[in-house]
Amino acid sequence: MKKIDKLLLVSFVGPFVVSFGIALFVLVMQFLWLYIDEIAGKGVNLFILLELIGYLSISTFPMALPIAVLIASVMVMGNLAERYELSSMKSAGVSLMRVMRSIIVVAAGIGFFSYICSDFLIPIANLKFKSRLYDIRKQKPALTLEKGVFNEDFRQFIIRIGDKERDGETIKNVMIEDQTNAGRLKFNKILADSGQMFTTDDKRFFVMNLYNGAQYQEPSPQGKTGGQRYPFVRTQFKSWTKVWDLSEFELNRTDEDRFKNQRSMLSMSQLRKNMDSLQLEIYDTKQSIADDLTADLKRKPVNPNLTNPLLQSKEIVNKDSLERPKAAQQLKKRPKLNLLPQTPVKTPAPVLPKQQLSKDIAGYTSLLETFVPEDRDKLRRDALNQAKSGKTALDRRKDHIDSRRKEEVKTGYELFTKYSFALVCFVFLFIGAPMGAIIRKGGFGYPILVSIIFFVTFIMLTIMCRKLAEAYILTPFWAAMAPCAALLPISAYLTRKAMNDSQMINTDRIDRMLLWLRRRFQKDKTAVT
């Protein structure tokens, strides 16, 4: 390895690791704040919380890697330019691309790692994160008995504590309403002057010892008419103990198979299969609509009661003009199974309304006039009902096609963004390194400012293109690749400027114009005075 390559690698690794850690922390906190309300107050232990953060960190790798490459490349080339090391290399005949060769290889490796994460690691991490978050959402809040507050955490029990000592165990003026026997007992309440509550050492049971109290019970009326009644019961006690099982507050693991069919939990090959299935489903739905609309054209209407030979229908030889495309045939081949011998089935001829022609066919103004008057109202009602049912079925299938098409667009965009985030790591290198060579500033000041500008631009383009794809303006492929395509000319322009040691924006003409305006203003002012 050349010394210049070793210098660039050593200079690049440190800022990249620090930048990647900062970007990962910011992105994880950004997404974690969305779910903090669902996690807080559920008694989630530290290990579950760390597990969630770990899964969320893996899912944010594709977004953290590009900004880390951008910041690190600006810092490395900015430090070299600020210390005139880059100028010394160029004066020795070493071009900018030769200086960047080692970090170009590293950026390509980072892009490949982003691709691997998007295809293999992130679907698993999203599946784990989704299932754990679902478990936390289902979990009951942590048991908290506050004074003066009615607590319903325990199933079929309502607990109220009048006062609680500082030790957290001694309680006073306790009220417990038991609703476990609501069918047999109309009223079941326990009142106590004082008590003590605690959790067993194994954290499996919650115990409440009450002192100097009474239990009030009123049985429900029995019998069909409710005439059989029982007396009100009051039982006093000096000590009463109630034990609750805390297993209902534990975190139960949900089967992860219920989430594995979502888009963010699928690999690239699975996303492609879903796209093919959606395309085939859309095509089959359109084909069924076409078959229903052309069903009447495929029949051979023959009316034995028709007397005019001009109205005798000719045999129509139908050919399926909507043949399945070759691509759809490759996606789904349905073999024909001849399990039973084919025997001709005679279908009875349909009973058609009678037609009665009293004059030539050219003398009628509508088809309805060719039928006898007593059948015309029935024909109108039947035609109207068929039209309504056909329109309803058509609207339902049209909505199904729209939903499948939208799902296809989202699936395609999810697939191609995995390539886009891997490619942008390489594009950001040719933006950050030339910017560092041009501005000649290292550290975390200017590099972070420049990196934030370009990264925010990339994110805004990504969001805008996703909306355009969902509006069917752009295809999923171009919607995913458009941000990279928009940043590619900028990277080429900055690289060319850095290789030629020229300024990013030439201000000579602007300075000459401002100087000319200043002199003109001074001349006019002198002429007026």
Find, among 18, 21, 15, 3, the residue nearest to 102 by Cα.
3
Instruction: Read off the tokens for 175.
Output: 């009220």
DSSP 366: S
Alpha-carbon distances, residue 141 vs 202, 231, 246, 441, 447 (angstroms): 19, 39, 12, 52, 45
Q: What is the mean pLDDT of residues 342-366?
A: 56
Contact 141, 41 (CB under 8 A): yes
Q: What is the pLDDT of residues 422-481, one digit of tens each?
A: 999 989 999 988 888 888 777 677 777 878 888 889 999 999 999 999 899 999 999 999
pLDDT of residue 150: 81
The better pLDDT of the pair 147, 503 is held by 147
Q: What is the mean pLDDT of residues 155-168?
A: 80
Q: What is the pLDDT of residues 405-428, one digit of tens each?
A: 999 999 999 999 999 999 999 899
Separation of alpha carbons 40 and 49, rounded Å: 10
Separation of alpha carbons 370 and 361, rounded Å: 8
8 class by beta-carbon count within 10 Å (0-12 exposed, 13-18 middle, 19+ buried): buried
Amino acid at 70: L
The partner residues of 240 in beta bridges, in order of sequence, read 210
Separation of alpha carbons 446 and 439, rounded Å: 8
Instruction: Read off the tokens for 16.
Output: 């990249």
DSSP assignments along 264-331, one per residue: GG--HHHHHHHHHHHHHHHHHHHHHHHHHHTTGGGS----TT---GGGPPPP-----SSPPPHHHHHH
Element (H, E) at 389: helix 373-439
Instruction: Read off the tokens for 224.
Output: 């069909």
Q: What is the pLDDT of residues 23-65, one digit of tens each?
A: 899 888 887 777 776 676 556 677 878 888 888 889 899 999 9
Q: What is the pLDDT of residues 100-117, one digit of tens each?
A: 888 999 999 999 999 999
* Residue 186, helix vs strand vs coil: strand
pLDDT of residue 475: 92
pTM of the model: 0.66
CA 8 to chain centre: 39
pLDDT of residue 180: 75
